[in-house]
Amino acid sequence: MMQEYPPEFRIEDHVANDRSYRFLVSTWMAQQLPIAVILFAFGGIGWVLWGVCLRVSVSLVGHWAVGHVAHKRGHQGWEIQGLLVQGYNLPRLGVLTFGESWHGNHHAFPHSAKLGVEVGQTDLGFVFIKALQMIGLATNIKEPASEPARSGLKRRDPFEVTNLTGKHVRLRKPSLR
C-alpha cells in the first residue's frame, strides 16, 4: 500500500490539553538546569557538557533512530491490517531503550504503558511506571488487556523477521534440548 503524502502528526486533544503534558513540553530545557548546576559544582563545564548536553543528544538521537528502524525492519509479532505504517520490535535494544524498542507492540496496543508484552521482552520503562504507581505518582496505568483489541489487529508468526533488505525471513524455532 503506497501513500502519496506522509501521515499528519496530530496529538490527541486529551493529551494536548493536559496541563502536566503542556508543562513538561514547555519547560524541558529548564528541567536540565538543576542537574547542570550540580554537575558544574562538582566538575566544571566538562561535567555539564557530558552530563547534560551529551546525555540529551544521545537520548534524542537514540529515540529517533529506534523510531526510524522500528518502522522498517525487525521482528513483527503483530500486524495491523489497513495501517500504512507498521511497527517492528528490535529485541537487542529492549533493555537499553527501556522498552521503546518494542515498537511493534506499541502499534498493536497504543493505549498500553506496557510495551514488553511477550515472554523475554524486558520493559524497564514499565517497571519504572509501576514504581511510580507504588509511591502514588502514577495512576490508571493501562496494559494491553485494559481496552478492546484495535481494529485489524492480527498475530504474526513469532519466528518471522524482516531483515535489513526488507525481506521476510523465518527463524529456526529454539531447540528444547
Whether 117 contacts 101, CB under 8 Å: no
pLDDT band at 26 (very low <50, low <70, confident <90, very high): very high
Model confidence at 163, pLDDT cuts 50, 70, 90, reads low
Query: Which pLDDT score, from 0 to 100, does residue 177 have?
Result: 45
Q: What is the mean predicted confidence (pLDDT) over 107-117? A: 92
Contacts within 8 Å (CB) and 24+ apart, 119-128: 120/91, 121/89, 121/91, 121/94, 122/94, 122/95, 123/94, 123/98, 123/99, 124/95, 124/98, 124/99, 125/98, 125/99, 125/100, 126/99, 128/98
For the chain, the average pLDDT equals 85
**Using an 8 Å Cβ cutoff, are 107 and 86 in contact?**
yes
43 or 78, higher pLDDT: 43
pLDDT recorded at residue 3: 57
Q: Say if residue 170's pLDDT is above 70.
A: no
Q: What is the pTM of this model?
A: 0.70
On the question of pLDDT at 169 being above 60, the answer is no
Residue 102: phi and psi, rounded to 5, are -85, 55
Q: Is the pLDDT of residue 138 over 70?
A: yes
Looking at per-residue confidence, does 83 or 20 come out higher? 20
